[in-house]
């Protein structure tokens, strides 16, 4: 059996619902369907989830919100009428509006996009609707509860065929909790894992991953297969398409994830596997991704390595201030702590003072405006000359490298460069490894 998840653009209107139906009917193993809330129908349009958040905000401060809710309702009614469905969502939409007016939670409000989308999809496909609140469990502290969810899913989802709303679940008392934005991908992966599905198909509006960001590199090659590890690196470093948390549940059971395009279902897409079968003539590098706006905190202390508690004390400053550390390259008497600018914003002075007190360094320096690039590929391991080509390509483009890091798995080479060199660097590395001269 396959779990199929359709993203917001695949559920944006009646025409998109029709494409979903033809995809589902083309393969009778597509027995469990997870849907997002309707997304944008055209570039200037709004996603239903964004409108629901806005609605909640406005109603909370009694600043209206009725107009926004009316547009949301209209979107769902348009789909219902466009598909000539026998069900009528109007009374339930009106009830939800009343609930929002009397102070429904933010998560409950946001979850209604997926809820109504799934109700419509179930009616259209002739599948049974299962509310995610019944099967996706969060514990009392609001953390996702994997064990309880697995039991509930196995108990509830038997035989064929079901539609489940993505993005949310509930605590035992019924209180709705959502995952982070884009979280319907996580729901699909959780169901695939709990049901030991043969495949998790994630249908979106692009034909899978590309070797680099198409807004930076012209016509980058598509990636037919990537491994979970490569995908983790690429999506962590900013390659969009799949929610980064969605990898873990499928990976636990080795379930392949297939990224496919609802608007071009014949395209191969990207297949994500535990291990890729690679030939020696395949590209050495699988993909290049990167993120802007990091900050380097350089800490220098003479004979730092002889102080056994130095690293612990330095890290504890970041831990106490709830700032995740992304990289920590070091040399003999200096260490650089690399963090996202947004996570340290407003706390810079406090951090410097605390490092001064706990670690008594000789020098501390802060440099903003750093970008991190990851050159990723399992084929790079145990091969000489790959980093030389990365650094050579950057040198030829006059890019100064501020930081270098390579994990022992040799799955990636990470370089830190100035924000202003970001696009140029990605193009230079792409050309080096993918352009046939």
Binding site for ligand ASP (CB under 6 A): 8, 36-37, 47, 49, 113, 166-167, 181-185
Q: Cα(238)–Cα(261) distance, rounded to whole angstroms?
A: 20
Residue 111 CB, shortest distance to ligand ASP, in Å, is 9
Residue 74 CB, shortest distance to ligand ASP, in Å, is 18
Residue 249 CB, shortest distance to ligand ASP, in Å, is 15
Residue 5 CB, shortest distance to ligand ASP, in Å, is 9
Residue with token string 């309880």: 148
Q: Between 181 and 275, name the residue whose CB sits nearer to ligand ASP.
A: 181
Please list the residues that pair with 289 across neighbouring strands. Answer: 374
Q: Between 37 and 237, name the residue whose CB sits nearer to ligand ASP.
A: 37
Q: Between 113 and 361, name the residue whose CB sits nearer to ligand ASP.
A: 113
Residue 405 CB, shortest distance to ligand ASP, in Å, is 31
Q: Cα(16)–Cα(7) distance, rounded to whole angstroms?
A: 11
Q: Cα(14)–Cα(196) distance, rounded to whole angstroms?
A: 31
Helix (H, G, I), strand (E, B) or coil at 255: coil
Residue 100 DSSP code:
H
Q: Between 166 and 208, name the residue whose CB sits nearer to ligand ASP.
A: 166
Q: Between 168 and 433, name the residue whose CB sits nearer to ligand ASP.
A: 168
Helix (H, G, I), strand (E, B) or coil at 400: coil
To the nearest 10°, the Cα dihedral for 178, 183, 186, 188?
Answer: 100
Q: Between 169 and 416, name the residue whose CB sits nearer to ligand ASP.
A: 169
Residue 47 CB, shortest distance to ligand ASP, in Å, is 5
Residue 305: CB atoms within 10 A of its CB come to 13
Q: How far separated are the first and last CA of the chain, in Å rounded?
A: 45
Residue 182 CB, shortest distance to ligand ASP, in Å, is 4
Q: Between 260 and 296, name the residue whose CB sits nearer to ligand ASP.
A: 260
Q: Between 166 and 220, name the residue whose CB sits nearer to ligand ASP.
A: 166
Q: Between 113 and 377, name the residue whose CB sits nearer to ligand ASP.
A: 113
Q: Cα(340)–Cα(326) distance, rounded to whole angstroms?
A: 8
Please list the residues that pair with 338 across neighbouring strands. Answer: 296, 327
Q: Cα(301)–Cα(315) distance, rounded to whole angstroms?
A: 15
Residue 404 CB, shortest distance to ligand ASP, in Å, is 35
Residue 7 CB, shortest distance to ligand ASP, in Å, is 6
**By the 8 A CB rule, do 3 and 195 touch?**
yes
Q: How many CA atoms lie within 13 A of 199 on its CB side?
A: 15
Q: Between 8 and 208, name the residue whose CB sits nearer to ligand ASP.
A: 8
Residue 119 CB, shortest distance to ligand ASP, in Å, is 15
Contacts of 104-110 with CB under 8 Å at 24 or more apart are: 104/56, 105/175, 105/176, 106/53, 106/56, 107/168, 107/176, 107/177, 107/178, 108/175, 108/176, 109/52, 109/53, 109/55, 109/56, 110/49, 110/52, 110/53, 110/56, 110/167, 110/168, 110/178
Q: What is the DSSP string of 219-236?
A: SPPB-SEEEHHHHHHHHH
């Amino acid at each position: 059996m396959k779990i199929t998840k359709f993203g917001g653009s695949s559920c944006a209107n009646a025409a998109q619902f029709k494409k979903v139906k033809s995809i589902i009917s083309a393969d009778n193993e597509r027995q469990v369907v997870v849907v997002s809330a309707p997304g944008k129908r055209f570039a200037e349009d709004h996603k239903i989830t964004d409108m629901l958040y806005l609605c909640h905000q406005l109603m909370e401060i009694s600043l209206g919100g009725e107009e926004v809710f009316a547009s949301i309702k209209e979107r769902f009614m348009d789909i219902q009428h466009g598909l000539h469905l026998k069900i009528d969502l109007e009374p339930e939409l009106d009830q939800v509006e009343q609930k929002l007016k009397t102070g429904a939670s933010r998560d409950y409000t946001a979850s209604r996009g997926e809820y109504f989308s799934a109700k419509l999809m179930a009616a259209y496909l002739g599948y049974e609707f299962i509310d995610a609140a019944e099967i996706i469990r969060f514990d009392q502290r609001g953390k996702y509860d994997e064990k309880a969810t697995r039991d509930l899913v196995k108990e509830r989802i038997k035989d064929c065929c079901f539609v489940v709303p993505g993005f949310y679940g509930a605590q035992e008392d019924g209180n709705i909790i959502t995952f982070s934005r884009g979280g319907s991908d996580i729901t699909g992966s959780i169901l695939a894992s709990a049901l030991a599905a043969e495949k998790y198909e994630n249908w979106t509006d692009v034909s899978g991953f590309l070797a680099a960001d198409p807004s930076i590199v012209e016509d980058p090659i598509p990636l037919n297969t990537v491994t979970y590890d490569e995908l983790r690196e690429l999506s962590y470093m900013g390659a969009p398409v799949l929610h980064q948390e969605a990898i873990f549940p499928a990976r636990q059971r080795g379930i392949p994830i297939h990224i496919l395009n609802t608007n071009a279902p014949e395209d191969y897409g990207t297949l994500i596997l535990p291990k890729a079968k690679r030939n020696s003539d395949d590209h050495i590098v699988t993909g290049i991704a990167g993120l802007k706006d990091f900050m380097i905190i350089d800490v220098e202390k003479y004979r730092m390595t002889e102080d056994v508690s130095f690293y612990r004390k330095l890290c504890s400053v970041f831990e106490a201030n709830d700032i995740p550390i992304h990289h920590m390259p070091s040399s003999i008497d200096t260490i650089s702590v690399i963090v996202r600018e947004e996570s340290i914003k407003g706390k810079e002075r406090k951090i410097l003072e605390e490092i001064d007190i706990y670690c008594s360094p000789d020098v501390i320096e802060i440099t903003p405006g750093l970008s991190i690039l990851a050159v990723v590929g399992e084929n790079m391991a145990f091969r000489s000359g790959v980093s030389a080509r990365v650094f050579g390509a950057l040198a030829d483009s006059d890019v100064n490298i501020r930081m270098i890091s390579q994990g022992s798995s040799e799955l990636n080479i990470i370089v830190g460069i100035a924000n202003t060199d970001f696009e140029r660097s990605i193009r230079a590395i792409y050309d080096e490894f993918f352009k046939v001269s």
